[in-house]
Amino acid sequence: MSVSASAVLDALGDANRRAILERLTGGPLAVGVLADRLPISRPAVSQHLRVLKEAGLVTESSVGTRRLYRIDSAGLAVVREYLDGFWGSALDNFARLAEAEAERKE
């Protein structure tokens, strides 16, 4: 599945989805465990997990009757690459500004 930076950023635009992702940094968790740690219902957590999964940010696996969710680094890599493009431009602009300021002072 190809993940787009736009889909990842859209998914991360919701505070509850960011909170779910932050909780998953500690390792795989089931929906029920996530719901117990968040101020939203279990069905709402499931809906948010679906969006995160579609965006490529989480994967799920079955362990017995439970589904465990974990962070999918592929989705994070896509958004990191996208943001790195801005960082390179920002550094180039900063370098030009610093050079212009140095020339102005001379």
**What is the residue-wise DSSP string for 48-103?**
HHHHHHHTTSEEEEEETTEEEEEE-HHHHHHHHHHHHHHHHHHHHHHHHHHHHHHH
The CA distance from 106 to 3, in Å, is 49
What pLDDT score was predicted for residue 97?
87
pTM: 0.80
pLDDT at 1: 52
Side chain identity at residue 74, one-letter code = A
pLDDT in tens, the chain (106 residues): 567 889 999 999 999 999 999 999 999 999 999 999 999 999 999 999 999 999 999 999 998 889 999 999 999 999 889 888 888 788 888 888 888 888 888 7
pLDDT at position 24 is 97
- DSSP annotation of 3: -
Give φ, ψ of 64 to 5 degrees. Answer: 70, -125
Residue 6 CB neighbour total at 10 angstroms: 12
